[in-house]
Amino acid sequence: MRKAASSVEGILFAILLALCVVLSLAADSFFSVQNAFDLLNNQSVNIIFAVGLVVVLIAGGIDISFSVAASVVQYVVVVMMIRIGGGNWLFGFAAAMACGLTLGLFNAFLIHRLRIVSIIASIGTFNLFFGLLMYLTRGRSIYAIPDWLDERVALLTVGADRAQATLYLPALVMLVVVAVTWFILAKTGFGRLVYGFGSDPEAARRSGVRIAVMQGFAYGWLGLCAGIAGLMQAHMVREVVPNALYGRELDVLAAVVLGGAVLGGGRGSVPGAVLGVLLLAVVQNGLNLLGVTPYAFKAIVGAIILIAVTFTNFDKVAPLIGLSNRKARAT
């Protein structure tokens, strides 16, 4: 399992490297520190989403409500901070993680207790969260956010004047979330249980694994990541727009499956998810620099999802296209 993940990660890294070389030759502005920093700043939110989503996919589930959950979190947190007099980063992170965790556990409750199929549950909560958010806020944005959230925190600045490139706080937060998620999945016994549960839930249950804990962790972790991502997105754009994150779920899902996760569970990795996001981001960035219509990128995302679903169900598809397994050949 880990060898397969390493193989996928190696292939993705090679493709990413080759693509960067090609785009550097095709567009002079691509190979620059400023473009690299912009890429990391802009993709930090998607990477945080991705490492949360990969946990759900490894555990055998799926969730597309995380983007609107992040929108709900950022709106709730900013309103809360304003009402208590402004707040600070500590209160902001605590509130965002608690709110995101609650929304994630709500999905877990629907799936585990009410026995709703994960994709149906997440479609339902996607519309429930977004509908309530737009109804209660009337679609109004918040421009006067607390000062601590409005002032960008620079981590690293290279160059000067117009050639200046800056890496901001979301990149550091993203690295922390990536590191913690990777450690849990790759270096702990609990992480191995998550993989085992995703591969064969029934066998895991018979061996004593508590399904409620597995599903609670997977969806709760994604919710927590969504809360953090929502706060970071509000920090980067310096405002809260209710529908700003609407539609990102499919891009992130495509990136995660491109990184080696499968919709059937038991496979996937944090490095693969990160590389998947970066690869799609580089493709999108390159298309923009080359003046290609953004609809081409949407077509690429759709193709990746279709291919991922096809390979996930390959055993069912193979007989339909005339392929037979080894056992059939032997007979």
Provide the 3-class DSSP secondary structure of residue 71.
helix
Q: Are 297 and 284 in contact (CB under 8 A)?
A: yes
What are the pLDDT digits (tens) for 127-137? 999 999 999 99
Interhelix angle 66-83/118-137, rounded to 10 degrees, is 40
What are the pLDDT digits (tens) for 249-307? 999 998 999 888 988 888 999 999 999 999 889 888 777 777 777 788 888 888 877 77
Q: Which residue has the higher pLDDT, 141 or 307?
A: 141
pTM: predicted TM-score of the whole model, two decimal places: 0.90
pLDDT at 323 over 60: no
Distance (Å) of CA 20 to CA 47, 214, 256, 284 = 19, 38, 20, 12
- Would you call 76 exposed, middle or buried from its count of C-beta atoms within 10 A (0-12, 13-18, 19+)? buried
pLDDT at 22 over 90: no
pLDDT at 36 over 90: no
Provide the 3-class DSSP secondary structure of residue 115.
coil
In the DSSP assignment, the letter for residue 240 is B
- Would you call 326 exposed, middle or buried from its count of C-beta atoms within 10 A (0-12, 13-18, 19+)? exposed
In the prediction, which pLDDT does 223 show? 98
- In the chain, pLDDT over 90 holds for what percent of residues? 62
- How many residues in the chain? 331
User: What ranges make up the beta strands (E) of the chain?
Assistant: 154-158, 165-168
Strand pairing of 165-168 and 154-158? antiparallel
Average pLDDT for 69-90: 94
State the Cα–Cα distance between residues 245 and 254, nearest whole angstrom: 16
Q: Are 116 and 110 in contact (CB under 8 A)?
A: yes
- Would you call 239 exposed, middle or buried from its count of C-beta atoms within 10 A (0-12, 13-18, 19+)? middle
